[in-house]
Amino acid sequence: MTQSAAPTRVPLVDYLRLEPSPHLVAHECTNCGARFFDRRNACAACEGTDFVEAAVASEGTLRTFTIVSFAAPGIPVPFVAGVIDCDGTHVRGNIIGVPPDADHVHTGMRLRLATTSLGPDAEGTEAIGFGFTPIAESNDATDQTTEES
Amino acid sequence: MRATDDIWILGISMTKFGKHPYLDTVDLAAEATLGALRDGGVSMADVGVIAAGCLMGAGLGIGQALQKQVGQTGVPVYNVANACATGATAIRTVVMALKAGEADIGLAVGVEKLAGAGLLAGASRKNDSSTWTPHGRYGAVAPVDGRIGTETMPGVFAQIGMEYGHRYGGTSFELFARISQKNHAHSTLNPLAAYTKEMSLEQIMNDVMIAYPNTRPMCSANCDGAAAAVLVTGERLASLSDDQRRRAVRISASVLTTDPWEPGCQVLPDVNTLTRNAARQAYETAGVGPEDLDLVELHDCFATAELVHYDNLMLCPEGGAVDFFESGAPFRDGSMPVNVSGGLESKGHPIAATGIANVWEVATHLRGEAGDRQIDGARVGLAHVIGLGSACGVHILERAG
């Protein structure tokens, strides 16, 4: 009954890898190079069925964003949602570590992957999520874990 | 192609869009259907095929429920669902049946009750479970909406508009708000619109922010409504009365596309490629170009969406949507009036009805029956819808004679 093991960590989604350092991975079609974050039965681009795991660049450029002020109950608002071009792979994520307003967020800004904590579950396992934080415009932008609020 | 090979709109009708607390979806569908039959001078006994949609009641069998109110003749019913393109899909289904020779008169109908529905996607996020256990194709241990971007429609379409600005420049919160201002101004002339109030730029920009840059009046209005169309083959039309032939509207192109693979489409829906593909096919089939259009009803589910579809429908050169709007072209007194009905932002968006209601709007102008908002001398028009997933319907219509 007694658990002596230290609480473990799990990623929010299986395409977030925590080790050796946090990064995203994609299923890459070995035939055409198309990348998918979810598992695919076959490639949507070429119908190939052979995939390898590919690491996604952890830095990128903000292609587009919105500032969500109205969302389902339980989702803290406002928050910034966007699409980040990580060396050609488009990634969906929240923009964090920056005030959620149009004065501080703009397309074309450089961003880096960062992790967030969703907190522990009933068994003490901590879930780790991710977002993207500005590289140049904020000095305290690091990939340190921040609390989800 | 001979005129008798074409498919025509014989009768078409839409209900008032808005709140109908005492009518259910079957009542609304019946009202639109009886209106379309009366408009076309035919009855259910003449209808050989039915395609019907009610997205939120997709398991109900709306087509058969409708038959029980207006005429159970035993003809085949196709209940269709294709997100916001459901109405266009119903028309497309009937067009295909008529072209295939399966029937010579068919009915397409779409209905929805959405008044007061609020956010339609991303609105029902599950609570976190007590343990972080992976689920689904992403192995997610918790709901991701709000944690990995947004799944709300206002947020998704905000990003689609902002991405256009990133690619081509020239967009701003104010620009998107002015697009909405145009459509709300147009709606004042449409008695069937859910909202018919003119709104100032300040009112629109200072209203409740939903997902920047879309404030509430820049979002499509959830409401109740139905629309129905009776279609006929050219051959059958030739046997009908002078008045029926005079008011018939030619469907010069009926196109439905889905989105081909694009690298970014897995994280943000690509509403551009399939719309451009549909438009290209439609122009080719109809033998007309964007410059021939007298009016366009396009899918302004959000103000940010209208901008990108100017470009996708090739109403302007690639990348030129901002200049197109700034030129005044899409205003009702401009060179290419867009959404003179008021668009989804003010006319309303009862989902499955939308793709027939926009055809009704165009057809009504082509018949010269649009009253105060008539676009004078309209001969050719285009109706466009898109449903995420995605499906895009484009219909090009031409006046008879």
Place of tokens 């820049």: B218
Write down the catalytic residue from B54, B84, B219, B301: B84
Residue A88 in any domain: the answer is yes
Number of domains in chain A: 1
Residue A95 in any domain: the answer is yes
B150 vs chain A: nearest CA distance in angstroms? 6
Interface of B with A in 151-180 (CB under 8 A): 152, 154-155, 158-160, 162-163, 165-166, 173
Query: Is B349 an active-site residue?
Result: yes
Fill in the amino acid letter for B213. P
Interface test with B, best of A3, A8, A9, A13 (most B CBs within 10 A): A13
The answer to whether B22 contacts chain A (CB < 8 Å) is no
| pLDDT tops 60 at residue A3 | no
Q: Which residue of B has its CA nearest to A79?
A: B146
Which residues in chain A are contacts of B302 at CB distance < 8 A? Answer: none
User: What pLDDT shows up at residue A58?
Assistant: 98
Residue A48 in any domain: the answer is no
Residue A4: pLDDT band with limits 50, 70, 90 = low
The CATH number of the domain holding residue A72 is 2.40.50
CA distance A118 to A91: 20
Residue by residue, pLDDT tens for chain B (401 residues) are: 455 689 999 999 999 999 999 999 999 999 999 999 999 999 999 999 999 999 998 778 999 999 999 999 999 999 999 999 999 999 999 999 999 999 999 999 999 999 988 777 665 677 888 999 999 999 999 999 999 999 999 999 999 999 999 999 999 999 999 999 999 999 999 999 999 999 999 999 999 999 999 999 999 999 999 999 999 999 999 999 999 999 999 999 999 999 999 988 889 999 999 999 999 999 999 999 999 999 999 999 999 999 999 999 999 999 999 999 999 999 999 999 999 999 999 999 999 999 999 999 999 999 999 999 999 999 999 999 999 999 999 999 999 97
Residue A124 in any domain: the answer is yes
CA distance A46 to A60: 26
CA distance B237 to B246: 10
Residue-level length of chain B: 401
| Residues B325 and B174 sit within 8 Å (Cβ to Cβ) | no
Q: Give the DSSP letter of residue B99.
A: H
SS3 B397: strand
B203 vs chain A: nearest CA distance in angstroms? 18
Q: Which residue of A has its CA nearest to B209?
A: A69
SS3 B284: helix
A84 vs chain B: nearest CA distance in angstroms? 10
Place of tokens 């960062």: A114
Q: Which residue of A has its CA nearest to B136?
A: A38
Interface of B with A in 368-397 (CB under 8 A): none
Listed in sequence order, the residues at least 6 apart from B59 whose beta carbon sits closer than 8 Å to its beta carbon are none
| pLDDT tops 70 at residue A110 | yes
Listed in sequence order, the residues at least 6 apart from A59 whose beta carbon sits closer than 8 Å to its beta carbon are A86, A87, A110, A111, A112, A113, A135
Number of helices followed by number of strands (H, E) in chain B: 13, 11
Residue A130 in any domain: the answer is yes
Write down the catalytic residue from B20, B186, B299, B349: B349
| pLDDT tops 70 at residue A1 | no
Query: Is B316 an active-site residue?
Result: no
Distance of CA B260 to the CA centre of its chain: 21
Residue A10 in any domain: the answer is no
| Residues B98 and B231 sit within 8 Å (Cβ to Cβ) | yes
Residue (of B132, B150, B135, B138) closest to A118 by Cα position: B132
**What CATH number was assigned to the domain covering residues B3-116+221-399?**
3.40.47.10
> Does the beta-carbon distance from A36 to B266 stay under 8 Å?
yes
Which residues in chain B are contacts of A88 at CB distance < 8 A? Answer: 263
- For residue A143, the enclosing domain spans 58-147
> Does the beta-carbon distance from B162 to A37 stay under 8 Å?
no
